[in-house]
A and B are shown apart, each in its own frame.
Chain A
């Protein structure tokens, strides 16, 4: 009985080693794990322990010779080993080989080789006889194709390296399955060899991800990298081409290019403007606060709105007088100023309008914290003039001017936006006639001022041009019924029609 110990992969993925020196000679007796030789691999000098006990029958490889992993190294005769270790298994296929213990030296060798054949087919091993074996001893290098065996459980790559292949297997594919693209190029292993994936190029995962992100499908890509691999540049180039095609107003597959003159026609473009088809914008800051406030107000407060068209010619006349007054120089003298005065005048007569609803009770405010809705670059803010009732007309004009400037410049503080009791919104500044504002949280009334226009108006039976506007507003119906809302707006309207009412 004899055993052949073949060169194992003693590192990680090594393929060959040089025999530096033999520590044993033919005829020596060895025990399992005795060191038989020293080899040098690409990584290290290694002493090899023998897996068999017995007598050294032959040193197959010579000192100074470099042999490949799996080639025969030494033959041990009279192999007498510890129980269970008589047939080194190369892999999972080994137990099958062990089921048929060898009867003779030849059969034993054959068995060992057959075992190797489980993972490394050769053409001649099953017919190999003693003479053939002798030949292999004398010219191991030439016969390496036939004799080499897989050894151990080293990396599979080693085994593949030595095995001949007659055909190729389809390469890995660009995975764009989640783009909803027909996967005509997926591999068809059961119909292999048909070149099923010829038109599909290889790409690394990051490049695939880029393609996915830019909306480029596998079939559109031609690889320019090594081995036809799709590169980042390929994907980006294709994405630019598609973008250019879109901008030129034609779909990628719609025949010859359109004439250049049509390229600039905006209606030919696929979208309203440049930019993505959909864009998600994070809701934050003023937008978020406004959204929360109006949603809360609109869903909890039953709003009632009333409007009245009025002749504000007298107010506009008074406005011009004040504008000419040096005391009002640099101050904003707008219909808002008179509306603010009118609101306080009306609120004095209708306390329940200047109030806050608290479910089990409501609070009547004996002061006016006047909120002024202002459209600013940051969004809608409603700064408050606290205790507006204490200001005279000049003081109120100054307060409104300051408030408007602060809001426009983003200087309004959080405290300045708290505590409003009644608000006013000037939709007229937007060129509108009226609207139905949403009540600021905690307030029961908001007055809307429309634009002042020259309109035909009937005065004492004659149609004459007058300054006309619509005043109206929204009210918390839990506190304020339609008649109260109407009475309040009518009082505001009365003041704006007859600002002389403000004279105490």
Chain B
């Protein structure tokens, strides 16, 4: 996987800040309140994530895909973008989703199998989660081609071009999918305003990223004719700065860019997975030492950017967010099954009606038993 030497890092694991001639300049735009807010978003997602994991273990969610350990990668990147930039997420972009204002109810419904999708992408410029690996990168390329066409035909004014770049999220596992290749070929050929964001969390379920690629994933970008950068995904400041830099280049019309965010999935792939079967506790310990939230908190404290009262406030907010999530899940009603059938086609359809009647008959079989 290459060495970590080529990975952009501003905030070291011990919480000390180092200077980088290009990327450090972007931090100047962050005042203390903005710096604190990065922490707040990470901490809130971490608590939300833990609650969702517990809720799944308590039988309240069908599944949960924890983002534990990837808070900085996601938060730093989404914070660097404009609210109008279009995000095409995987199913693990919880920090990004919450950052954009997607509510716990909207986010959790699919994981409770109570909603087909939780939110209207137009409301947040944030597409629905894609469970199909890498498919969203094709959707993203298509969306970006739409932007490019709108610009070409004049239906989108040139000055508006800077307001919408397309963020295509995927992981080290999905990077092996053919869809990625097609997406990148189109992005490069049409010089699309796209930022490819790989969260290399080192594990594609049980397959290590070292098996997926013999050299850094960021290097693949050069094969398509654009630039790839590796960043320490557990460093929220570097994640922010690199994303800002790449976004600026994209907005100026330089075409697509790629960021490989080197991070680590501290939790299971999903709640249906048991990572102890394929990775060692030594590896977990090594990455725990690089924890993104703890590292950043240390720096905020040492620099006097935030006091204990602030952290207490965030803790309280996180507790309330978790309670809100718990309450939401417990009171969330399921899907109206009639509606599922009735929305397959615009007009009544014989086969759908047949299957609907079959299900009703099947369910009625239990009612008879109950009546005895």
* A interface, CB within 8 angstroms of B: 5-12, 32-33, 43-51, 82-85, 87-89, 91-92, 94-95, 121, 151-155, 163-170, 172-173, 175, 177, 186-187, 189-190, 192
Contacts and interface: CB of A to CB of B under 8 A. Distances in A.
A152 B52 CA distance: 13
A84 B365 contact: no
Interface stretch (B20-28, B154-162, B186-194, B349-357): B349-357
B40 interface: no
Given A44-B274, A153-B334, A154-B59, A189 B358 contact: yes
Contact of A175 (B351, B361, B364): B351
A170 B369 contact: no
B330 A9 contact: no
B330 A87 contact: yes
Contacts of A186: 354
B57 A47 contact: yes
A84 B327 contact: yes
Contact of B357 (A51, A166, A187): A187
B370 interface: yes
B271 A89 contact: no
B326 interface: yes
Contacts of B268: 44
Contact of B62 (A33, A51, A155, A190): A155
A95 B331 contact: yes
Contacts of B274: 43-46
Interface of B: 50-51, 54-63, 112-114, 268, 271-274, 276-277, 323, 326-327, 329-334, 350-351, 354-355, 357-358, 360-362, 364-366, 368-370
A152 B58 contact: yes
Contacts of B357: 187, 189-190
Contacts of B361: 169-170, 187, 189, 192
Given A33-B51, A87-B330, A169 B365 contact: yes
Contacts of B61: 152-153
Contact of B369 (A11, A153, A165): A165
B49 to A, nearest CB: 12
Contact of A12 (B57, B272, B323): B272
A11 B58 contact: no
Nearest to A11: B272
Given A85-B326, A152-B62, A45 B354 contact: no
Contacts of A44: 268, 272-274, 276-277
Contacts of A85: 323, 326-327, 330
Contact of B323 (A9, A83, A164): A83
Contacts of A175: 351
A167 B364 CA distance: 10
A51 B58 contact: yes
A287 B63 CA distance: 62
Given A45-B274, A85-B330, A177-B350, A153 B60 contact: yes
A398 to B, nearest CB: 57
A95 B329 CA distance: 12
A214 to B, nearest CB: 21
A153 B113 contact: yes
A48 B327 CA distance: 19
B330 A172 contact: no
Given A11-B272, A33-B51, A177-B350, A164 B369 contact: yes
Contacts of B354: 173, 186-187
A49 B326 contact: no
A199 to B, nearest CB: 17
Contacts of B57: 8, 10, 46-49
B268 to A, nearest CB: 8
A90 to B, nearest CB: 8
A120 to B, nearest CB: 9
A166 B364 CA distance: 10
